[in-house]
Structures are given as C-alpha cells and as structure tokens.
Amino acid sequence: MDTPVRVLLVDDDPLVLTGLRIMLSGAPGLTVVGEAADGEQVVAAVAEHRPHVVLMDVRMPRLDGIAATRALRTGGADDPQVIVLTTFDADDTVARALRAGAAGYLLKHTEPERIVEAVHRAAVGEPVLSPAVARALMDRVAATTDHGAGAWDGAVD
C-alpha cells in the first residue's frame, strides 16, 4: 500500500486509546484518523474518517465490538478491515468475532511491533491472529474428532 494506512481506534478505555494513538502515530506508514469510545459510534466514525483498518475492543458499553464489526461488514469494496484488540481470548469470543467478519484477533498484551505489523497486514487483506489465539484454534481443530458433515477434510484448495 503506497499511501499511509488509515486507522480508526475503538475502545471505551481512554488510557488504552491514548496508548494506541501514541504507539501508532509514531509508526511509519500509519495514520490514526479517528477514535470512538463505543460500538455505537463506529459506523458514523467509519463514514466520516474512511479508515482502512479499525482496531476494535470487544467489551464496550451499549454496543459491543462484535456487533459493531458485523455492522461494518456490508460487503462493499470500501469496508475497512477490523482487527479485534482485546484482553479476552476465550474460544467462543474469538469464533464470534471471526464470524462477524473480523480480519484479525489480537490480545492487548501483544508487542507493539506486532500490532503495527498486523495493521499493515490487515490493510492488504491478510488475516492476523495473536500467536496464543492461533495456537488455541489449532489445538481446538486438532482435538475435534467430528468427521460428519461440514468437518474439514484436510484438503487444501
């Protein structure tokens, strides 16, 4: 991507927003274009700021990040990529976020360099997962013994 990646930050914790803004504003090739403190503000903030990537918290008042992610996934070419950035790594939360259309799932204790890298990767359409989340998903798939309808057969297209 030749132009700077436009990033919208969404978190109800002002300290987290400030930390992310400082961290990402200093990263080459990224521009923080706006912030929202609740999922209800996300659709309007995206319309106003036209980000390439949204870093989205999960648990927020009024409208959570998963519902807000779902609201952003219109199927349009201008839909931003959403990376869920949260402290919650429960399997069901990860699965719900990915089903809602999230392009990635990072834990807030992820190293700053990895968050910056993830934003760049998501902006060009690559999926991103925290290593701990990827490991948990891999372990879950490996433990699955269901060979019925819809089970993954191991074939790679």
Encoded tokens for 86: 């949260």
What backbone torsions phi and psi does residue 14 show, to the nearest 5 degrees?
-60, -35
CA–CA separation, 125 vs 87, rounded Å?
A: 24
> What is the spatial distance between Cα 151 and Cα 144, in angstroms, rounded to a whole number?
9
SS3 34: strand
Q: Residues 103-127: pLDDT tens digits?
A: 999 999 999 999 999 999 999 999 9
Single-letter residue type at 148: G
Give the per-residue pLDDT at 19. 95
CATH number of 5-143: 3.40.50.2300
| Sequence spans of domains, the chain | 5-143
Query: Which pTM does this prediction carry?
Result: 0.85
Residue 146 has what pLDDT? 59
What's the pLDDT tens digit per position in 75-103? 777 899 999 998 877 778 888 999 999 99
